[in-house]
């Protein structure tokens, strides 16, 4: 079961730990269930409002972060969070970007920190 730590520089004292109930749940859904004030609008990977920084805090050797959806790639590029070169390197390394859209990222069985 994945432990997700939500943290924000604006709410330093309000780090929230949440456990993902299933592996079909998005980071945004988990945040809303736990009353984490992540900004969002479209909930469909279009607007980029829900951009978050995700890092693995798991001791597993194998990273589990899922691949970016096509919408995420496009929006994150528009936001200037990732470059085409970084996108290509991610495919080579088989590792996701640290920048994700909370409404698109599915929580895997990996402990992560989500900065919003």
Structure tokens at 19: 């456990």
Cα 108 to Cα 24, 77, 95: the distances in Å are: 8, 23, 13
**CA–CA gap between residue 36 and residue 13 (Å, rounded):** 13
**CA–CA gap between residue 20 and residue 48 (Å, rounded):** 23
Under rule CB under 6 A, residue 58 binds ligand FES: no
Q: Which of 3, 16, 32, 47 binds ligand FES (CB under 6 A)?
A: 47
Under rule CB under 6 A, residue 33 binds ligand FES: no
Query: Scanning residues 76 to 95, which ones bind ligand FES (CB under 6 A)?
Result: none
Q: Which residues contact 92 (CB under 8 A, 6 or more apart)?
A: none
Under rule CB under 6 A, residue 107 binds ligand FES: no
Under rule CB under 6 A, residue 46 binds ligand FES: yes
Cβ proximity to ligand FES, 49 vs 58, nearer residue: 49
Least Cα distance to 107 among 59, 64, 45, 47 occurs for 64
Cβ proximity to ligand FES, 45 vs 96, nearer residue: 45
Q: Which of 3, 16, 32, 42 binds ligand FES (CB under 6 A)?
A: 42
Chain positions contacting ligand FES, by CB under 6 A: 40-43, 45-50, 75, 101, 103
């Amino acid at each position: 079961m994945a432990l997700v730590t939500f943290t924000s520089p604006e709410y330093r004292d309000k780090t929230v730990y949440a456990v993902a109930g299933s592996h079909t749940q998005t980071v945004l859904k988990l945040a809303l269930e736990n009353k984490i004030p992540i900004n969002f609008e479209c909930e469909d990977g279009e607007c980029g409002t829900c951009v978050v920084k995700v890092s693995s805090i798991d001791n597993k050797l194998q990273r589990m972060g899922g691949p970016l959806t096509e919408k995420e790639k496009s929006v994150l590029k528009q936001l200037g969070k990732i470059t085409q070169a970084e996108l290509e390197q991610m495919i080579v390394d088989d590792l996701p970007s640290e920048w994700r859209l909370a409404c698109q990222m599915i929580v895997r069985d990996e402990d992560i920190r989500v900065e919003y």
